[in-house]
Amino acid sequence: MRFLCDACERLAPPAAFRVEAGVLVMTCARCGQESRARPEEALVAAVAQAGPQQPSAEPSPRIVPAPSLKVVALRPSEEQVRDAAALARSGDPFAVPEGFCPKCIAARREGAESCASCGLTFAHFDAGEYLPSEPLRTAWLSVLERWDDRDAHDRLLSLAVGRGELAMAGRLYRIRLAQAPDDLYAQRGRDEVVRLATASPVSFAPAAASSSSGRGQLVAGLLFFFILLVVGLLLFRQFRMSFGGP
């Protein structure tokens, strides 16, 4: 289980937890600060055990309820999974929903002729320029069919990295977020694309480019060795002529 720490505002597993007077106290594994919450179940149980209160001459102390713990779900809902599967079988699972820019997927102002975010003139948009390759299309449809399969999402991202289509994968996740803004796996996919894009740009170069670069370095090394050999022979010959050699 993970929770959203009140101090560092990060999603983290609890390093430790305890219960104090019916209040759940969880220690953040990242910053070490404590977050407190009173689960609803514990509150209901405490009220049931207390039973009816007897009138008392002394005023009872005012109880201030602890803030609720911000626990974040780690899996999409069943409704989101069904919607994603239905989208895979729809007429155009790659279409941008109405009300969004077809290029950058930003919110589209009503009556506007161009996008305020990317400057696209909507009348000049060509949908054919923003379609993924056939392998990525097939992989995306497979992911939609198994939307709650985390490994399927990871395989899609690996394919996008290998084919140099990481930006296109990010576009697909943004389209899904336009359709379902609260979709957990769409949020995770979008964030993972950003992380991969900023982690190591060199590692995203296609394999063919890497191999050709290696051949270029080998040729340059051989040429440099040949030049050194020629220079060495010329110096040796000059040295022998200086001392009267044949």
Report pLDDT digits (tens) over 108-149.
988 899 999 899 999 999 988 898 999 999 999 999 999 999
Cβ-based neighbours of 48, under 8 Å, separated by 6 or more: none
Band of residue 16 on the pLDDT scale cut at 50, 70, 90: confident
Cβ-based neighbours of 93, under 8 Å, separated by 6 or more: 87, 140, 141, 144
CA distance 217 to 219: 6
pLDDT of residue 58: 55
Residue in 121, 135, 127, 129 with CA at minimum distance from that of residue 164: 135
Strand partners of residue 11: 4
Among the residue ranges 22-26, 27-31, 91-95, 190-194, the one predicted with the least confidence is: 22-26
Is pLDDT of 240 > 60?
Answer: yes
pTM (2 decimals)?
Answer: 0.54
Percent of the chain whose predicted confidence (pLDDT) is above 90: 33
Q: Is 190 left (phi over 0), alpha (psi -120 to 50) or beta?
A: alpha
Cβ-based neighbours of 70, under 8 Å, separated by 6 or more: 3, 4, 6
What tokens appear for 91 in the block? 């007429």
Is pLDDT of 74 > 70?
Answer: no
Domain ranges of the chain: 3-50, 78-94+131-202
What tokens appear for 103 in the block? 């290029």
Is pLDDT of 234 > 60?
Answer: yes
Is pLDDT of 198 > 90?
Answer: no
The more confidently predicted of residues 153 and 47 is 153
Cβ-based neighbours of 177, under 8 Å, separated by 6 or more: 105, 183, 186, 187, 190
CA distance 104 to 107: 9
> Distances in Å between the alpha carbon of 127 and those of 84, 89, 103, 209?
22, 20, 8, 29
Contact in structure between 170 and 150 (CB atoms under 8 Å):
no
pLDDT of residue 8: 63
Half-sphere exposure of 5 (CA within 13 A, CB side): 20
Residue in 156, 7, 152 with CA at minimum distance from that of residue 67: 7
For residues 140-164, average pLDDT: 93
CA distance 227 to 243: 25
